[in-house]
Structure 1
Amino acid sequence: MRAIRSLTLLLALFAPAAFAEGLYQVEMILVRQNAVPAITSPFAPEDWSAGAPRLAKEALRPTTLDEEVARLQAGTDYTVLLHKAWQQAVGSEPVRIALGEGQEQFGHFPIEGVLSLVQARFIGAEATFWVNQLDDNGSVLRSEQFRQANSNIKRGQLTFLDGGHLALLLKVAPVGARKIPTLDPEMMEQ
């Protein structure tokens, strides 16, 4: 009997770490909030990825938040700068991915940054992105920086990270997880 209690205690201690490791579908939308004045920041550093591996083309997946993007683009309040979806492993140690969008010139992209994800009780995310204006020679003329962190992201839930004039919508869901059915609004009225 004593051995069963000890085994149960050991399982309770190690089970959360064992279930935390896994493959996740990540989708992010970087937007400019047009009503908020743009704030220029120091130029994006030469080593903007800080050694993080670039997102592999094989990891890219079809986007699922297209309706949200269409709603954002329907008005004049937001400009969608970047919309990507991919699969990656997320575990108890932070996993960093470097993302670049647009034509690369001398190591810089018009939009570049790093997203770091870690799994604990909730998912933690730390994002640093630069929106760069490049000249014809590929030199950075101006940068806008987005930097935010959130350690309370629920799996499968769309989360808004507000950085002033730049913002990030982020959804991180386990691959193969059941989708929560959406209820028909007409059925809710009955």
Structure 2
Amino acid sequence: MHALRTLALLPLILLSLLGSNAALAERLYQVEVIVFRQSGENGSGGQLPPDNWAQNALPVDAGSSRALTLTSEASKLNPANGYQVLLHQAWSQGISDSTSSVAISTGNEQFGHYPVQGRISLSGDSLIELDSDIWVNQFDQSGILNASERIRQSRRLKSGELTFVDNGSLGLLIRVSPL
């Protein structure tokens, strides 16, 4: 009888072990991003973002939003120092060997686009693979998108380290820290 009970529990034990391995494979991180431009620089890349710019990435919502920790760094990116912060956002994101993507945006949406919009894709463990695709958009008086600048770069990040991504007149600061 005892052997039958143990045998009946075996599938449950195996399922719980598999579930815990999956949970260990994905760790939760705080991701914080600052997108900024050099003051007086309004370059236009000529290419406009596609309508599917988020490409099935999950939006940052109230449940994943986190408190900002790079406020000191953001405050230094002011007009007196020759910069303008365009987006400053923080969220929690699970990261594993498979890529997870988050859609970020700020400002009022106009015909499916925002003044600043993009996708942050992350994968990895101690070294985190970043694929960023950020658009800074300009609209005409009718709300039609007429010009864009783009930061699209891939980088390897160290967990907890602040990383600068340069793209001419635009820049990106990102820190990915374990929670």
Conserved in 2, the CA contact under 8 Å of 1:131 and 1:143? yes
Q: Secondary structure at the match of 1:44?
A: coil
Q: Secondary structure at the match of 2:78?
A: helix
What residue number does 1:181 align with?
A: none
Alpha-carbon shift at residue 138 of structure 1 (Å)? 2.6
For residue 164 of structure 2, what is the amino acid of its counterpart? F
Conserved in 2, the CA contact under 8 Å of 1:33 and 1:79? yes
Conserved in 2, the CA contact under 8 Å of 1:108 and 1:138? no
What residue number does 1:32 align with?
A: 37
* Mapping for residues 39-78 of structure 1, pairs under 5 Å: 39-73=44-78, 75-78=80-83
Compare the two structures and name the one with the higher strand fraction.
2
Normalised TM-score (structure 1): 0.76
Give me the whole-angstrom Cα distance separating, in 2, the residues matched to 1:33 and 1:120.
33
Conserved in 2, the CA contact under 8 Å of 1:113 and 1:129? yes
Give me the whole-angstrom Cα distance separating, in 1, the residues matched to 2:36 and 2:85.
4
Normalised TM-score (structure 2): 0.81
Q: Secondary structure at the match of 1:142?
A: strand
* Mapping for residues 88-127 of structure 1, pairs under 5 Å: 88-127=93-132
Give me the whole-angstrom Cα distance separating, in 1, the residues matched to 2:97 and 2:136.
30
* Identity across the alignment (%): 39
Consecutive unaligned residues of structure 2, counting only runs of 5 or more, are 1-21
Q: Secondary structure at the match of 1:57?
A: coil
Give me the whole-angstrom Cα distance separating, in 2, the residues matched to 1:24 and 1:92.
14
Q: Secondary structure at the match of 2:175?
A: strand
What residue number does 1:162 align with?
A: 166
What residue number does 1:130 align with?
A: 135
Alpha-carbon shift at residue 110 of structure 1 (Å)? 0.8
Q: Secondary structure at the match of 2:63?
A: helix
Give me the whole-angstrom Cα distance separating, in 2, the residues matched to 1:114 and 1:142.
18
Over the residues paired in the alignment, what is the CA RMSD in angstroms? 2.0
Instruction: Give the ranges of 4+ consecutive aligned residues of structure 1 lying more than 3 Å apart after TM superposition.
Output: 17-20, 34-37
Conserved in 2, the CA contact under 8 Å of 1:21 and 1:119? no
For residue 109 of structure 1, what is the amino acid of its counterpart? Y
Consecutive unaligned residues of structure 1, counting only runs of 5 or more, are 1-16, 176-190
What residue number does 2:6 align with?
A: none
Give me the whole-angstrom Cα distance separating, in 1, the residues matched to 2:70 and 2:103.
21
Q: Secondary structure at the match of 2:74?
A: helix
Q: 1:122 to 1:145 in 2, by over 3 A?
A: same
Conserved in 1, the CA contact under 8 Å of 2:126 and 2:159? no
Conserved in 2, the CA contact under 8 Å of 1:20 and 1:119? no
Conserved in 2, the CA contact under 8 Å of 1:23 and 1:88? yes
For residue 80 of structure 1, what is the amino acid of its counterpart? V
What residue number does 2:177 align with?
A: 173
